[in-house]
Amino acid sequence: MKIKKAIIPAAGLGTRVLPASKSVPKEMLNIVDKPAIQYLVEEAAASGIEDILVITNRGKGLIEDHFDHSFELEANLAGNPSKAKLYESVKECADLANIYFIRQKETKGLAHAILAGRSFIGDDPFVVLYGDDVIINNENPVTKQMIELYEKYEKGIVGVEAVPEELIHLYCSLGLTDIPGEDKLWKCWQINEKPKPEEVLSLYAILGRVVLPANAMDMIAEGIAKTPADKEFYLTDVFTDMGKAGNLLAYAYDGRHYDMGNKMGIMKANCEVALDHPEIGEDFKAYLKELVKTF
């Protein structure tokens, strides 16, 4: 079944990047000349996704404005031939895909945010692009890599990366079994959230992208219904249940990942994207070379 729908949860509080994220959502923080969330929407569109639901909340109206037409700005740029490129770049934000918005009315975690998209998803499989995880592969977008695997194996796919041993306690740790003939894809049978040393199963953690069957929504709804109102229900519990039933694969994607939810991630994203940028790349490289001499 072709996957045409994606959800981007972007309703978190972004406490790790305060005060920057006080009035600007962290998903709107800049990477050189585009907000982080635009990289996600471009990745989804380049992967064949047609309909994208962004989960927002109060104070995230900037995201909606960014993907809408700005008639005054467009009319101004359109009248100036020297600004033709800028005009195109502004206009295309509104034309990348069909983008819908819904609010998560209480900030009750990632699983709760995704469930806000239940009626949008209906009976279709879908991709989740975590709103603050920018993953760059311009030749073969990570969402496309994962959709192809979903279509081949018809099992849920979690995108994973190896994290340093001293940091694994901040992430989750996956129990993995080899699949003959595959070197970056495993069966995933267990996920330990924020593991203690004795709970570390591997150094692979889920980072940024997952592809799920429609019934994952039912699993989230059931999990939330069973969880006391003052506790968070974790998406990893759904993954664990899928894994135990033999319905989950883990894929070490091919792409450069930047966590826009923390300061180092934001700086790495800006630095590396600037070095590759057609307009400023060379100048920025020269600047950095000079700068390192002063350390």
Q: Residue 78: which region, alpha, beta or left (left: phi > 0; alpha: psi -120 to 50)?
A: alpha
User: Per CB under 6 A, does 175 bind ligand UTP?
Assistant: no
Beta carbons within 8 Å of 200's beta carbon, 6+ residues apart: 165, 168, 173, 192
**φ and ψ of 222, to 5 deg:** -65, -45
User: Per CB under 6 A, does 23 bind ligand UTP?
Assistant: no
Residue from 12, 175, 195, 255 in contact with ligand UTP (CB under 6 A): 12
User: x/- string (CB under 6 A) for ligand UTP, residues 211-250?
Assistant: ----------------------------------------
User: Per CB under 6 A, does 118 bind ligand UTP?
Assistant: no
Does the bond joining 9 to the residue before it have cis omega, within 30 degrees of 0? no
Residue from 14, 195, 223, 243 in contact with ligand UTP (CB under 6 A): 14
Q: Which is nearer to ligand UTP, 243 or 265 (CB)?
A: 265
SS3 state of residue 211:
strand
**φ and ψ of 38, to 5 deg:** -65, -35
Question: Pick from 136, 176, 138: which is nearest to 157 by CA?
Answer: 176
Question: Is 189 within 8 Å of 177 (Cβ atoms)?
Answer: yes
User: Per CB under 6 A, does 9 bind ligand UTP?
Assistant: yes
Residue from 55, 90, 134, 220 in contact with ligand UTP (CB under 6 A): 55
Size of interface with ligand UTP, in residues (CB under 6 A)? 21
Q: Which is nearer to ligand UTP, 8 or 249 (CB)?
A: 8
User: Per CB under 6 A, does 177 bind ligand UTP?
Assistant: no
Q: Which is nearer to ligand UTP, 10 or 90 (CB)?
A: 10
Q: From CA 185, how far away is CA 188, in angstroms rounded? A: 9
| Piece in contact with ligand UTP (CB under 6 A), picked from 7-15, 145-153, 183-191, 277-285 | 7-15
Q: How far is the CB of 180 from ligand UTP (least distance, A)?
A: 34
Q: Which is nearer to ligand UTP, 111 or 185 (CB)?
A: 111
From the number of C-beta atoms within 10 Å of its C-beta (0-12, 13-18, 19+), residue 35 rates as buried
User: Per CB under 6 A, does 208 bind ligand UTP?
Assistant: no
Question: Is 99 within 8 Å of 54 (Cβ atoms)?
Answer: yes
Give the footprint of ligand UTP on this chain (CB under 6 A).
9-16, 27, 55, 104, 107-110, 112-113, 130-132, 261
